[in-house]
Amino acid sequence: MFRLKLVPADTAINFVARFRLAAIMSAVLVLASMLVFFWQGLNLGIDFRGGILIETRHQDGPADLADLRSRLGQLELGDISIQSFGAETDVLVRIQRQDGDEKAQVAAIRAVTEELGAGYEVRRTEFVGPTIGAELTEKGILAVLCALAGIMVYIWFRFEWQFSIAAMIALTHDVLTTIGLFAATAFEFNLATIAAILTIAGYSINDTVVVFDRLRENLRRYKSRQQPEILNISLNETLSRTVMTSVTTALALLAIIFFGGAVLRDFALAMLWGVVIGTYSSVFIAVGMLSWFDLKKTADEDDNDTPKPEYERG
């Protein structure tokens, strides 16, 4: 039976020799992400900065977005974002929060509705005030920090404290570079982005745990070998599985990017970046950090130097 193999079964890549270069590249990438974030900031959606959201549907075929931008731009309501939402007939209109109280927001909604005319059916309107936006910002940050802390504790109990520190550094690397990506590209940063960051963290730690588990097994199996050699063996043994998982996930995300519409595109792009950076960090950051520690080679009573059956390679 033919089996697709993106990576040969007998790879012998010297990952350890590349850890220093990877550390320098990652440090530069994280520093650049932080600089872009503090210099340019994030393009916050109405979830965080407050504003008006109107979902509408054109009843006579595909909506003319260029015409809508021209007409609604003349209303002088400030920053207005217009994009397709699902079908070609559906449009999502985002308007910045208007100066004044609730009456000012209602007046803006009424002005947009009247400008759209009878050809558009208004299906949903939402208003996010500044208080709610600040609360969502606080809860979003708290959600990310709690997730990272929970993962750190899990890795600590599952493996050893050295593994926990390495995993946390790798996850922090992934989160910071993802935020840097949104700052550099001006993609809208909203609640869906928070969900993407949490998903990226989960995906990355899944890859990392697979490598860590094989490394721990090999530390017990090859007690007479040097630690750098064991690190290389573990990474090469899990490389096929790591690459195959990343490629299949990336294919699904590419389908969303090209066919999922504008609403899902930013989320899918963030996830695609997360797949790439998460795979990289699992190999070069997490395991690279472990190379700085003197890991235990304590074996169980039934462990010996005789190789155990290998996991089936993908």
**Any domain includes 209:** yes
**Any domain includes 299:** no
Task: Say whether both 31 and 156 belong to one domain.
Answer: yes
Q: Give me the pLDDT at residue 303, please.
A: 44
Does the pTM surpass 0.85? The reply is: no
**Any domain includes 243:** yes
- Among 128, 160, 179, where does a domain finish? 128
**Any domain includes 311:** no
CA 29, 35, 39, 42 torsion-angle sign: positive
- Among 128, 162, 188, where does a domain finish? 128
How many angstroms separate the CA atoms of 67 and 139, rounded?
38
Q: Categorize the per-residue pLDDT at 202 as very low, low, confident or very high, splitting at 50, 70 and 90.
A: confident
Q: Is the predicted pLDDT of residue 271 greater than 50, yes or no?
A: yes
Q: Give me the pLDDT at residue 310, please.
A: 40
**Any domain includes 300:** no
pLDDT of 84-109, one tens digit each? 776 778 888 888 777 777 788 788 88
Residues above pLDDT 90, as percent of the chain? 3
Q: What single-letter DSSP state applies at residue 282?
A: I
**Nearest to 193, CA basis, from 252, 122, 269:** 269
In terms of residue numbers, what domain contains 201? 16-43+133-290
Q: Categorize the per-residue pLDDT at 131 as very low, low, confident or very high, splitting at 50, 70 and 90.
A: low
Task: Say whether both 187 and 77 belong to one domain.
Answer: no
In total, how many domains does the chain have? 2
Q: Give me the pLDDT at residue 133, please.
A: 62
**Any domain includes 69:** yes
Task: Say whether both 271 and 173 belong to one domain.
Answer: yes
Task: Say whether both 29 and 163 belong to one domain.
Answer: yes
Q: Give me the pLDDT at residue 253, please.
A: 85
- Among 128, 157, 174, where does a domain finish? 128
Q: Which CATH number fits the domain that encloses residue 95?
A: 3.30.70.3400
Radius of gyration of the chain (CA): 25
Task: Say whether both 112 and 142 belong to one domain.
Answer: no
pLDDT of 16-44, one tens digit each? 888 888 889 989 999 999 999 888 888 77
Q: Is the predicted pLDDT of residue 301 greater than 50, yes or no?
A: no
Task: Say whether both 221 and 169 belong to one domain.
Answer: yes
To 5 degrees, how large is the angle CA 156–CA 158–CA 159?
A: 70
pLDDT of 231-242, one tens digit each? 888 888 877 777
Task: Say whether both 168 and 283 belong to one domain.
Answer: yes
Q: Is the predicted pLDDT of residue 299 greater than 90, yes or no?
A: no
More confident residue, 6 or 244: 244
Task: Say whether both 179 and 255 belong to one domain.
Answer: yes
**Any domain includes 310:** no
**Nearest to 282, CA basis, from 217, 223, 200, 226:** 200
Q: Which CATH number fits the domain that encloses residue 229?
A: 1.20.1640.10
184's tokens: 């550099």
Task: Say whether both 142 and 251 belong to one domain.
Answer: yes
More confident residue, 192 or 252: 252
Q: Give me the pLDDT at residue 31, please.
A: 93
Q: Is the predicted pLDDT of residue 164 greater than 70, yes or no?
A: yes
How many angstroms separate the CA atoms of 94 and 169, rounded?
37
Task: Say whether both 39 and 77 belong to one domain.
Answer: no
Task: Say whether both 264 and 150 belong to one domain.
Answer: yes
**Any domain includes 303:** no
Task: Say whether both 200 and 92 belong to one domain.
Answer: no
pLDDT of 62-80, one tens digit each? 877 788 888 887 777 777 7
